[in-house]
A and B are shown apart, each in its own frame.
Chain A
Amino acid sequence: MERLLEPLRDEPLPPSAVDIGRALVAGRRRVRHRRLASAAAASCAVLALVGGITVIVAGEAPDGSRPPVAQEPTASPPPMPARAPAAFEPLHRYAAFGWLPDGLADSFVETGTDQLLLGAWQPMTAESHERSGVELRIVPAGHDIALADMGDFAVEGAITEWAGVTSAEAVNGRTARWNGRAPSSGTGAALRWEYAPNAWAEVIVRGGAAGADARATARRIAETLRYGVDEPVRLPFGIAGLPDPLRPMSVLVSTRTFMGIPSWEARVAYGPGERTTSGEWPLTVMALPQPSDTGDGANFGDPNGTLDGHPVRRSSMADGGKALQVYGVQGLYLELTTDDTATTRQLPDGLDGLFRSMTLYPGLQHWQ
């Protein structure tokens, strides 16, 4: 019998790019940030909107509507903010694409108080070898964007390591740089610019979406980006029974077509302003369009009970967290999760009660 994975066991690795010193600096900064965030939690909800700038919403809406696709560059670029907010409001999107290459029908938005990620992608097909698309990474004032192509990209303060960064022509008069470390694989380009004093944005173009000139595509997207968008991120559910001080801290909504089948995912993380000791948000609610009332043998386990006639699976996790999976409710699969005992105790009627306080809007056109 051959040992299938054995050749990967001791595969030689290239020299390490992991830097313990950088982890120390970032870790200390994050600890300080948490202390500050804790002290200033109440003020986090207040979004300092960019003064005087009203922008037409052009982002990729959850209902699948597309931003206007300009075939030619706009005659005049959108106004650049005089200043950036100190924090983003997770239930709103601060920025939106003004122009995108054709064919990027899948969309993605993930919000947080310290970062906003927007994505637009080509739908996957059986012939797809690599997804191509565009991502916007943007942070509020006082933050920078990590050079690495990674999930938690917001860095408090300014980055100090510049390997792989080269200067670029200004974006609408603002300082700009090419980031050679993103995208981390494949073809593409990443352009970052200081969209407001002490606040940065970065566009990453991946794969074939760039066309022949990835840098030109990235620049055109950057120059047509719209700031100060104040449209709510619409969701397929609302929750009435959320106890203080839990409030939305991060929202993720994606709409996509996979092998010709449209789908979506919506996830909202709630917290008092800081994560739990495990690094997660205290409460997460996720919804997917999935009418099945059983598990799938892989990602979703089978129900082990019922709740108001709906098949559910209840489970306990480390640190006192609880999970409630609800199957086939109005055509949706729901997953409600607390990350620790303290959060579980904050819910007077537990996750069952939280589920009962939810209002669902299963149809994309009804999201609120």
Chain B
Amino acid sequence: MRKEQEREYIEYVTARLPVLRRVAYQLTGDAHRGDDVAQQAITRLYVHWRRARNADNLDAYVHTMLVRVFLDEKRRSWSRVRLVAAVPEAADRPPGDPEERAVLRAALAQVPPRQRAVLVLRFLHDRSVDEVAQILDCAPGTVKSQTSHGLAHLRRLLGNGTYAITGKGE
């Protein structure tokens, strides 16, 4: 890679790394594993930087890479999936309560990977259905159905019908 392009890559990754780490963390539910996913994604981005820098929507392109790394990892390690015998309790707690976050994170970690990716991108990163479809390389209808299934899964796990998912994603 030319030095000029490499400098562009470094500037881009430096600026976007906090967001990429956060998405990876929310996908994996584990900070260390999230950082490993982010590390793999930015390495893959380097290899494809010449093509990526010309993408119409570079952020979407990079998010696609990140999600693919995550899904690849999940496919490989399907056997690491955890099952819980008991349904996590969803008690009333103030927003931001560490215990509540832990319960939510545990529940989200049990949602199937593609559905989880849809929920994270739509409701935690305010991506539209079309954007998520682009990132996951699937039809908008699939995003909607995955959203519906993911929400149903979460609600079953949390056992509380009064919860609602909100976000700017349409």
Kindly count the residue-residue contacts between A and B in the assembled complex, taking CB atoms under 8 Å apart: 175
Is there contact, CB below 8 Å, between A19 and B39?
A: yes
Closest Cβ of chain B to A288, distance in Å, is 12
Which A residues touch B123, using CB under 8 A?
A: 5
Main secondary structure on A side of the interface with B = loop
Whether the pair A8, B51 counts as a contact (CB closer than 8 A) is no
| Complex alpha-carbon distance, A22 and B158, angstroms | 39
Complex Cα distance A277/B54, Å? Answer: 13
Q: Write out, one digit per residue, whether chain A residues 266-285 have a CB within 8 A of any chain B CB (1) or not (0).
A: 00000000000111100000
A126 and B46 form a contact (CB under 8 A) = no
CB-CB under 8 A from A7, the residues of chain B are 95-97, 100-101, 104
Q: Which residue of A lies closest to B82 (CB)?
A: A130
- Within the complex, the shortest CB–CB distance from A108 to chain B, in Å, comes to 6
- How many of chain A's residues have a CB under 8 angstroms from any CB in B? 62
B119 contact set on A, CB distance < 8 A: 5
- Which of the residues A5, A206, A318 comes within 8 Å of B80, measured between beta carbons? A206
Residues of chain B within 8 A (CB-CB) of A19 are: 39
B130 within 8 A of partner (CB): no
Looking at chain B, what size class is its interface with the partner chain? Answer: 35 or more
Interface residues of B in 17-65 (CB under 8 A from A): 17, 20-22, 25-26, 30-33, 35-40, 42-49, 51, 65
A18 touches B38 (CB 8 A): yes
Taken together as a complex, chains A and B put the C-alpha atoms of A16 and B39 apart, in Å, by 10
Kindly state the separation between the CA atoms of A13 and B20 in the bound complex, as whole angstroms.
12
A3 near B166 with CB under 8 A, answer yes
Known A-B contacts A129-B84, A279-B68; A185 and B104 likewise in contact (beta carbons under 8 Å)? no
Closest to B154 in A: A4
Residues of A1-34 whose CB lies within 8 A of B? 1-9, 11, 13-14, 16-20, 22-24, 26-28, 30-31, 34
Task: List, in ascending order, chain B residues with CB within 8 A of A127's CB.
Answer: 85
Can you list 16 contacts pairing A with B, beta carbon distance less than 8 Å?
A: A3-B165, A4-B154, A4-B164, A8-B101, A18-B42, A20-B13, A23-B13, A23-B42, A26-B46, A34-B47, A117-B76, A127-B85, A128-B82, A129-B82, A129-B84, A151-B73
8 tightest Cβ-Cβ pairs between the two chains A and B: A27-B46, A1-B164, A17-B35, A4-B163, A148-B36, A23-B42, A23-B43, A121-B79
What is the interface of chain B, defined by CB distance below 8 A to chain A? 1, 6, 10, 13-14, 17, 20-22, 25-26, 30-33, 35-40, 42-49, 51, 65, 68-69, 72-73, 75-85, 95-97, 100-101, 104-105, 108, 112, 114-115, 119, 123-124, 134, 137, 139, 142, 145-146, 149, 154, 158, 162-167
A residues near B (Cβ < 8 Å) are: 1-9, 11, 13-14, 16-20, 22-24, 26-28, 30-31, 34, 106, 108, 110, 117, 119, 121, 124, 126-131, 133, 148-152, 184-185, 206, 252, 254, 256, 277-280, 297-299, 301, 315, 317-318
